[in-house]
Structure 1
Amino acid sequence: MSRWRGLTGETSGEDYAARFAALARSGKEVHGEARFCAALVPAGARVLDAGCGTGRVMIRLAELGYDCVGVDLDASMLAVAQQQAPELPWFQADLAGFEPNLLGIAADFDLVVAAGNVFPLLAAGTEATVVKRLAAALRPGGLMVAGFGLDEAHLPVPPSITLSAYDDCCAVAGLTLVDRFATWDAAPYDGGGYAVSVHRR
């Protein structure tokens, strides 16, 4: 069972969306991830939002002109995404078993983004498999971006994956570290409890 399922029961889509809607109304920036991704690849690029949740990142990228596909395991989150942007392609799938071709999706993405603590919330022991599956969905030269917490202050669950372990998973999957930041605003990584990592296939 994924840590996400254990944490939420996969019934939290509406609550999750409401929390970000309230942040946006209060004037908080809620599109940092999309802005970060848009600085990496040009408009029109194919983007896979892995663990897309309610679609906040992907919907913004689509508005900016990107060709996006969203995948998530949580039906409650996807229901919100589909309601907000029914014209976009949303798929329910476990990332540990993700095979784009079986869903009728071409595995030639320019960018795969895993925002929102996707990796620490996976089922224990599936991290390397998920990295391998997402790497396989990239075209040669494509980028994978993952942002996640590394300590209890930045996670809703106990820390489960270190940066070195994540880098090892990426290396085995044929990915090379390009850059690492402390935030989605591209602040330099300083060894703190949150990291945004960019790897290239």
Structure 2
Amino acid sequence: MSRWSEMAGKASGEDYAARFAALARSGKNVHGEARFCAALVPVGARVLDAGCGTGRVMIRLAELGYDCVGVDLDASMLAVARQQAPGLPWFHADLAGFEPDSLGIAGGFDLVVAAGNIFPLLAPGTERAVVERLSAALRPGGLLVAGFGLDEAHLPVPPGLTLADYDDGCAAAGLTLVDRFATWDADPYAGGGYAVSVHRR
């Protein structure tokens, strides 16, 4: 069972979406992840939102002109995504066994984004398998972008994944670190409890 599943009973997809809607109404920019990704690949690029949740990032990228596919294991989250953007492709799947062909999705993504603490909330021991699956979904030269917390201040669960572990898994999957930032606003990373990593296949 994923660490996310252990927490899922505490909040539904609607609760999660409502929290971000409230942030948006307060004037906070809730599209930092989409803006970050849009700076990496040209409009029209094919993007996989891995662990898409309620679709906040993917819907914004689609609005900006990207060809997007969303995948998540949480049915409650996907129900909200499908309600908000019924015309976009949303798939219910476990990232640890993600195979685009089996879902009827052609492979070859230009960018895979895993926002929202996806990696720390996976089932322990599956992180490398997920990296391998996501790397395999990328075209040569494609980018894997992942942002996640590294300490208790930035995670809803006790930290269990280090950057060194993540980088090792990426290297084993044929990915090379391109850059690392402290935020989705591309602030330089100099240590700290949150990191946004960009790896290239």
What's the counterpart of residue 111 of structure 2? 111
Other-structure match for 1:77: 77
User: How many percent of aligned residue pairs carry the same amino acid?
Assistant: 85
2:118 is aligned with 1:128: no
CA distance in 1, matches of 2:40, 2:192: 23
TM-score (normalised: structure 2): 0.99
Q: Deviations over 1:131-170 (max 9, x none)?
A: 0000000000000000000000000000010000000000
The alpha-carbon deviation at position 72 of structure 1 amounts to 0.1
For residues 152 and 190 of structure 1, the distance between their equivalents in structure 2, rounded to whole angstroms, comes to 18
Report the Cα offset of residue 11 of structure 1: 5.6
1:2, 1:120 → 2: CA distance? 9
Counterpart residue identity of residue 176, structure 1: T
1:94/1:10 CA distance change after superposition, 3 Å: farther
AA in 1 matched with 2:160: S
Which residue in the other structure is 1:163 paired with? 163
**What aligned pairs does 1:159-198 form with structure 2 within 5 A after superposition?**
159-198=159-198
> In 2, distance between residues paired with 1:8 and 1:82?
19
- Inter-partner Cα distance in structure 2 for 1:142 and 1:52: 19
Which residue in 2 is equivalent to 1:41? 41
Bigger drift between 40-49 and 7-16 goes to 7-16
* Counterpart check, 1:13 vs 2:9: no
Deviation, structure 1 residue 107: 1.1
Give 1:9 shift: 2.9
Where 1:81 maps in the other structure, the secondary structure is helix
Match of 1:124, SS?
coil
In 2: Cα distance, 1:112 partner to 1:54 partner? 17
Distance in 1 of aligned mates of 2:88 and 2:47 = 12
Cross-structure match for 1:99: 99
Structure 1: any 5+ residue segments left out of the alignment?
none
Distance 1:119 1:82 in 2: 23
Runs of 4+ that moved beyond 2 A: none
Q: Which runs of 5+ in 2 are unaligned?
A: none
| Partner SS for 2:186 | coil
Shift of 1:10: 8.0
Please give the alpha-carbon distance, in whole angstroms, between the structure 1 residues aligned to 2:10 and 2:155.
17
Letter in 2 for 1:192: G
Distance in 2 separating the partners of 1:194 and 1:11: 23
Query: What CA distance in whole angstroms lies between the structure 1 residues aligned with 2:10 and 2:52?
Result: 14
Q: Corresponding residue for 1:53? A: 53
1:129 and 1:28 map into 2 onto residues whose CA distance is 35
Shift of 1:186: 0.1
How many residues align structurally?
201
RMSD: 0.8
CA deviation after TM superposition for structure 1 residue 12, in Å: 1.4
